[in-house]
Chains A and B, each alone.
Chain A
């Protein structure tokens, strides 16, 4: 009997520690909801349609931040997805091992660079380059709503580019895993039927489509929540605009910039409510993409 005691203790301890993870996730949801209540009660649904963000008059509407977040993230994904998937296909299907291994390592390094370092590079290297690019835009293009506004460099385009760079390694490595989970027989069958490498890969991609969609969504989740790099290059102006050269603002960036300045309880609560929604949205996106990937690789 005495010998069993440590075993029971071990089982109990690991179960308790594992439960801690559940407790933390639930605690985040509960704590954020409680702290967001004053703002939820005060503004209700208007919080999400309001376009004015004025701490002085205590009037808070979050639509510009939602717009900026969605616009920058979607643009980033449109830029990142083809590059990420292309490199995943190259590494998984075409590269010989002596080339594939180092490439995997390089992409891992890209994922390991801290967001603040991307931000620093963004401010001092990318933004001035983008400004030069914007100055060189032909006038005809500058008339269009997508490119109107003064060429500042700081703005949606810089943020989307930086986000794309940061998302590529995540999406690429998940997509590579997904492709590796496609049975070899799939490709062999395609080749046996006389398929070219492109056609064989197309068949593999079709087989893996749910996992590939999951990989892209996982990247989207990352982009939506990315904070520092975006806050440093997007210009931090809560204004809804189609123009990609104009400064805008994101949900994560406004929390990072204004949280310590929020002296009034309602101001703080409004920021927490933005955080709560960011939490909920990334939760749903992550859950969905995990489900998609899991259905492929299990």
Chain B
């Protein structure tokens, strides 16, 4: 059985190689997080959250305007993407077999794969050029477009988790399809839908490329939605490619805040999904 031993050795080597691949895949996470936390914490202080950026050459200052800007943009994006995304998700789960549903599903997946910079160019053409100004509205539109497919597909998946018996029960009691959906199935899936929105928000809040030429940047607080508006991501980018030591420190702090926001949302979403799955699968 020398052949057997050779085969077993090959197999063992393969398992070890796969384990090594996992280690290689996870190492960057440790490295990136290590640096962001290590350098970010050093630069983070109360000023960062409460002060405006200082002019070049003066130390200190913060990113209060950028944090507020990111929240504004995320809110605008959600206002656009939640109705369309949830509506699409409802449609897809209700008519999953129809050819039109397949087409919509395909369009949503396509939209999800469009590079964010292309969405930025589109938003520039639609929401900046006609008005001849960069604005929070244009930035929110760009992020909203990116959010729609994520909300739609996640909502669809979570609605499918709701047991068929709930819907059948409602229909048996004489409810119309729409009533059964809105009155029974959607409420049962609501925590899931909220999760989908949070997850999508986490993703778009970290986007930079679609904001570069839609919401642009602003050294001060934007006073209206039709003004250029700063965001954490664009501000981190501007600071990172600048030649100033102090701005680099602030960029790390910005990255840390960004990561905490994004991971916080992802974690929250994950916990809710788990609970939802356990609830409906009766685990």
Q: What is the distance, in angstroms, from B186's C-beta to the closest C-beta of chain A? A: 10
> In the complex, what residue of chain A is closest to B108 when comparing beta carbons?
A21
Q: Are A110's CB and B208's CB within 8 A?
A: no
Q: Are B21's CB and A83's CB within 8 A?
A: yes
Q: Are B104's CB and A282's CB within 8 A?
A: no
Using known A-B contacts A112-B266, A114-B206, determine if residue A278 contacts B176 with beta carbons closer than 8 Å.
Answer: no
Q: Are B35's CB and A286's CB within 8 A?
A: no
Q: Which residues of B contact A110 (CB under 8 A)?
A: 25-26, 28-29
Q: Are A275's CB and B8's CB within 8 A?
A: no
Q: Which residues of B contact A7 (CB under 8 A)?
A: 176-179
Q: Are A90's CB and B236's CB within 8 A?
A: no
A199 within 8 A of B: yes
Q: Residue-by-residue, is B244-255 near A (CB-CB < 8 Å gives 1, otherwise 0)?
A: 000010011001
Docked Cα-Cα span, A91 to B101, in Å, equals: 33
Q: What is the distance, in angstroms, from A251's C-beta to the closest C-beta of chain B? A: 9
The SS class assigned to the B binding surface is helix
Which of A27, A168, A198 is within 8 Å of B14, CB to CB?
A: A198
User: How many A-B contacts if CB must be within 8 Å?
Assistant: 266
The SS class assigned to the A binding surface is helix
Could you list which residues of chain B lie within 8 angstroms of chain A, going by C-beta atoms? 7-8, 10-11, 14-15, 17-22, 24-26, 28-29, 31-32, 35-36, 83-84, 86-88, 90-92, 94, 100-101, 103-104, 106-111, 113-122, 124-126, 145, 148-149, 152, 176-179, 181-182, 202-203, 206-209, 212-213, 216, 233, 236-237, 240-241, 248, 251-252, 255, 258-259, 262-263, 266, 270
29 example contacts (A-B, Cβ-Cβ < 8 A) are as follows A6-B178, A15-B91, A17-B91, A18-B92, A21-B107, A21-B108, A21-B148, A21-B152, A22-B104, A31-B125, A32-B125, A87-B21, A94-B15, A103-B22, A106-B26, A108-B266, A112-B206, A112-B263, A114-B262, A117-B259, A225-B115, A227-B115, A228-B208, A228-B237, A271-B121, A278-B118, A282-B115, A282-B118, A290-B109
